[in-house]
Amino acid sequence: MTIGIWILGDQLNLEQAALLSCHDNKQETPVILIESCSYIQKRPYHQQKLVLVFSAMRHFAEELRSQGWPVTYKAVQNFEPALNDWITTNKITELRLVMPYDRPFFNSIKSFKLDCSIKFIPNNHFLWSQAEFKQWTDSRKRLLLEDFYREGRKRFNILMEEDQPIGGQWNFDKQNRKPPKKSLNTPTALWFEPDEITQQVIKDIKSYKIETYGNIEPFKWGVSRSQALQILEHFLVNNLNNFGPYQDAMITGEYTMWHSLISPYINLGLLTPLEVIKKIEKAYYEFDYPLNSVEGLIRQILGWREYMYGIYQVMDDNYADKNWFNHQEKLPDFYWDSKQTDMNCLKQILQQIEETGYAHHIQRLMILSNFALIVGVSPQAVNDWFHSAFIDAYDWVMVPNVIGMGQFADGGILASKPYAASANYINKMSDYCKNCVYKQKQRTGEKACPFNFFYWDFLSRHQQKLKDLGRMNLVLANLKKMESEELKEIQNKAQQWKNKNGLS
Ligand code: FAD
Ligand code: SF4
C-alpha cells in the first residue's frame, strides 16, 4: 500500500493530521500541493488573497522538502486530472487528506473519480472537534457564545485560577468600547517586502486573464510560518497592551490600529489557535498586561473563532441559503469600486480593502454588513462579496459571520438581535462623519445620511418580526412615536436612493 498526501491551501502546518499520520514513513510518502486555475475563477477574488495563498503554499512546499518529504507541486487547470496523474506515477493506493474545513469544497472532492481510495482524516486545527461541539450544543437549551467561551476557558485552562476566572470575571468587554475621541498614538503594523517566490506568484497572477478584485501591489503580507510568527511576536510586544480599549474604534487612514492581523495566518494553518492563545496568556503573566486587553483577545480566538466553526459544522447544508427577512436587493455596485460612493465611511473602508484585503471587525460588521442589511440586500449576495474581498475569507468563517451575525438571515441562531445601526453609532465610534457630504444627524432632507433613512426604513419594514424578537422594543417605541409624515419622507428617501443606485 502506498499512501499519498494531498495538502490543501488552508492546511499549511507541519503538524497537521495527515502529515502526522505518516510522519514515521515520510521519505516514502509522496505529498502533493496543487494550484488550480479554474478554482480561483469561481469568484473575483482579491488579488492579494490569491498571492497570499499561492505564495504560502509554495513556501510550505519548500519547508516540507527541507524536512525530507517528497513533494510534487503542480499549477494546473483542474484538481482531478492532476491528482490522477500523480496517483498513477507514484502508484498510490490511498489518497489521504485532512477533512476540508469548507463544505462546498468537501462535496466537490467527494465527487472526484480517483484511481485510488480516499481517506479523510479529522482535522486537528480547531480546538473543538465536530463531535465535541455537537455534544455541547445537544446539552444546551440555548446557544450562547458566552456559555461556550466559558466552557473553553475551563476546558483548556486559560486565564483560570483553580476553577475561577482570573480577575473574578469572565468578560471585560465593557472596558473595550472606547470611542476614538482624542487623537490616538496607534502602533505601526509589521509588513514584509515580497521575496522571490512571492514576486513570481505576483507575475503569475498578473499573467492569468481572470476576473479579480482589489490591487495586487503593494503586497505586504507574510507568506510563511516564520513571518507569521514574527507578526504575532510584533503584536504581543507592541499592540496587546492596548488592544482592548479601542477595539471597536475606526479612524480615517488607520487601517490596522491595535488589531493583530493574524486571521490570514491562523486560517491558512501557519499559526495554530492554541499556540496563539498560549502566547497571549504567557504575555499576560510576563508583562502584566491589562486583563481587559488579554481576555478580550482570547475571547475572539478561543470563543468566537471556535464558535463560528462549530456552528458552521452543526448547521444544515441550507444554512448558507437562509434569508429570514426575505431580502432580495442586489449589492450596490460601489462595494466593488470605492470611487463610486460619496458616503465617507463606506468609501474609506472600501478603499482600504481594495488596497489590502483587510478591514477590522467593526468596519466589517457595523459599516459594510450593517449598510447591506438595512438596505435589504440579499444575504447571499453580501456573503459572496465578503468572500471575494477579504484576505482571510473562507466558507466556514464567512457563512456564520455574514449570514448569521451580520445579516441575521438565520433568524437569531448566532445573534439575539440584528446588528443594525444608524449614523449615530458610526459618528460615535469613528471620525468618518466629520468629512462626509452627508449630515449624520439628519434622517430627512437633501443631506440626510443614508444610514439614517435606511435604518428607520428597515425598522418600519420589519417591525412585526423585530417585535417578536423582544430585544428591539426601545427603538420600536421610538419608531411608533415618529410622525407619519416623517416616516413617509424617510421611505421616499430610501426608495429614491435605491432607484439612483440601480436597486429595485
Ligand atoms: P483581531 O481583532 O486582532 O482578532 C483576533 C482574532 O480573533 C482574529 O484574527 C480571528 O482569528 C479571531 N476572531 C475574532 N472574531 C472572529 C469571528 N467573528 N469569527 C472568526 N474569528 C474571529 N474572520 C475571518 O477570519 N475571515 C473572514 O472572512 C471574516 N469575515 C467576517 C465578516 C463579517 C461580516 C464579520 C462581522 C466578521 C468577519 N470575520 C472574519 C471575523 C473578524 O472580523 C476577523 O477575524 C478579524 O477582523 C480579523 O482581523 P485581525 O486578525 O486583525 O483580528
Ligand atoms: Fe457614513 Fe453617514 Fe457618517 Fe457619512 S454621515 S460618514 S455616510 S455615517
pLDDT score of 181: 82
Assess whether the C-beta atom of 366 lies below 6 angstroms from ligand 2.
no
CATH number of 130-187+239-314: 1.25.40.80
Cell for 128? 473543538
What is the spatial distance between Cα 288 and Cα 487, in angstroms, rounded to a whole number? 53
| Backbone torsions φ then ψ of 160, nearest 5 degrees | -120, 150
- pLDDT score at 226: 98
Locus of grid cell 481587559: 292
Listed as ranges, residues in the chain with pLDDT below 70 are none
How far is residue 178 CA from its own chain's centroid? 23
In whole angstroms, what separates CA 30 from the centre of its chain?
32
What the block records as the C-alpha cell of 181 is: 475621541
- Residue 23 has, within 13 A of its CA and on its CB side, a CA count of 8
The DSSP secondary-structure symbol of 166 reads G
In the reported structure, the alpha carbon of residue 370 is separated from the centroid of ligand 2 by a whole-number distance in angstroms of 13
Ligand 2 atom index nearest CA of 432: 6
Q: Which of the listed residues 362, 374, 375, 426 should we mutate to test ligand 2's pocket, taking the one with most ligand atoms within 8 A of CB?
A: 426
Q: What is the pLDDT of residues 151-204, one digit of tens each?
A: 999 999 999 999 999 999 999 999 999 999 878 899 999 999 999 999 999 999
User: CB under 8 Å to 129, separation ≥6 — which residues?
Assistant: 122
Does residue 363 line the site of ligand 2, with CB under 6 A?
no
The pLDDT of residue 182 is: 78
Write down how long the chain is.
Answer: 504
Ligand 1-lining residues (CB < 6 angstroms) = 259-263, 266-267, 297, 300-301, 304-305, 308, 360-361, 364-365, 369, 386, 390, 392-393, 397-398, 401-402, 405-406
**Ligand with minimal distance to 344 CA:** 2
Tell me which DSSP letter residue 86 carries: H
pTM of the model: 0.97
Where along the chain do its domains lie? 3-121, 130-187+239-314, 321-500
pLDDT of residue 58: 98
**For residues 34 and 77, what is the distance between their CA atoms, to the nearest angstrom?**
10
Question: What does the block give as the cell for 243?
Answer: 488592544
Q: Which residues contact 184 (CB under 8 A, 6 or more apart)?
A: 246, 249, 251, 254, 257
Nearest CA to ligand 2 atom 8: 423
pLDDT digits (tens, 9 = 90+) for 407-451: 999 999 999 999 999 999 999 999 999 999 999 999 999 999 999
Query: What pLDDT does residue 183 have?
Result: 82
Are the CB atoms for 293 and 259 separated by under 8 Å? no
CA 427 to ligand 2: nearest atom: 3
Q: Which ligand is nearest to the CA of 334?
A: 2
Q: How far apart are CA 182 and CA 251, in angstroms?
A: 11
Ligand 1 atom with the shortest distance to the CA of 258:
3
The CATH H-level superfamily of 321-500 is DNA Cyclobutane Dipyrimidine Photolyase, subunit A, domain 3 (1.10.579.10)
The residue whose CA has the least distance to atom 5 of ligand 2 is 440
**180, burial (CB in 10 Å: exposed 0-12, middle 13-18, buried 19+):** buried
Q: What is the pLDDT of residue 326?
A: 98
Residue closest by Cα to atom 44 of ligand 1: 361
Residue 432 CA to ligand 2 center (angstroms) comes to: 7
Helix (H, G, I), strand (E, B) or coil at 53: helix
Q: CATH number of 3-121: 3.30.390.50, 3.40.190.10, 3.30.360.10, 3.40.50.620?
A: 3.40.50.620
Place of cell 444627524: 441
Our CA angle for 11, 16, 17, nearest 5°, is 120
402 lines ligand 2 (CB under 6 A): no
Q: Are 452 and 423 in contact (CB under 8 A)?
A: yes
